[in-house]
Structure 1
Amino acid sequence: MTDTPQHRLGELMEQSNPPFEEVMSCVFGIETHETRTYLVLCEQPGSTIEELAATLERDRSTVNRSLSTLRDRGLVRRDRRLLDGGGYIYQYTAIELSDAKAHLHEALDAWTATVHDVIDEFDGTNR
């Protein structure tokens, strides 16, 4: 089995003080490099794919896939900027860290409530 984010919950729960990056990757179901991309965008809002690729030392296609995943999760927005000579480029900005933290809390609270329901409904015959 690969080390996908969904399979890291048990490992995460065993840590008494897990790093924020691991919590974010696990809860949002994203890879570590996607979390890193988000955090770089927090520091460098309005970055292009080329700028991110240079900062992250990754190829453009990998950065593009990371940004697509982050946009799907609502963690990053894309804005189009018109160029003086014609055409346009896309710039990416992370949502505020405080908003991402609020989403993390909401996701964990929803999951915890579901687990509590499973525990409460188990009567020994539900196998």
Structure 2
Amino acid sequence: MEREIEELFEGEPSFQHILRCVLKLTPSEIEVYLSLHRHPNLGVDELAEIMGKDRSGVYRSLQSLMEKGLVKREYRILKHGGYKYLYIPIPIEELKEKLRSELENWFKKLNEIVEKFSIEESGKVS
């Protein structure tokens, strides 16, 4: 993670790189999230097939994305009986707002550390 943060400030980071660093998303989670935007309202099986990925890996990514508030799950009753869950990503603008909010929190924390710093209290450098 430390290296990823360093890379964030070197050169021109990609949007995916920012998602990894700021929201702590894995490459698989990013791929699932973006695939859901291209193919909305899919179940796990359909999404895994479109992505050419293992169902269990896609499911784990969806679970993590739901925990992080980036994907929502809707219950649908099927015409011929039974049910399934469909997964819906939050809108890109909402994702951008989450990123902005998280970055603001980072900067506030960093600024507090800078403001509190003094030579007397610094102790050992690590």
Matched, 1:12 2:33: no
More deviation, 66-75/35-44: 35-44
Alignment of 1:52-71 (within 5 A): 52-71=47-66
- CA gap of 1:80–1:61, structure 2 versus 1, over 3 A, is same
Distance 1:55 1:13 in 2: 34
Runs of 4+ in 1 over 6 A off after TM superposition: none
Question: Does the aligned pair in 2 maintain the 1:6–1:26 contact within 8 Å?
Answer: no
Q: Hey, what's the Cα distance between the residues in 2 that align with 1:111 and 1:123?
A: 20
The 5 Å alignment of 1:1-127 reads 8-14=4-10, 16-126=11-121, 127=123
Q: Verify the 8 A CA contact 1:6 1:29 in the aligned structure 2.
A: no
Number of paired residues? 122
Q: Is the 8 A contact 1:53 1:59 kept in 2?
A: yes
Shift of 1:11: 2.0
Pair member with larger Rg: 2
List runs of 5+ in structure 1 lacking aligned partners: none
Structure 2 unmatched runs, 5+: none
Task: Tell me if structure 1 keeps the 8 A contact 2:7–2:13.
Answer: no
| TM-score, normalization by structure 2 | 0.90
Could you report, residue by residue, the CA deviation over 1:69-107 in whole angstroms, capped at 9, with x for unpaired residues? 100110000001101121101100100000000100000
What is the root-mean-square deviation of aligned Cα atoms in Å? 1.3
Deviates more, 1:101-110 or 1:25-34: 25-34
Identity %: 33
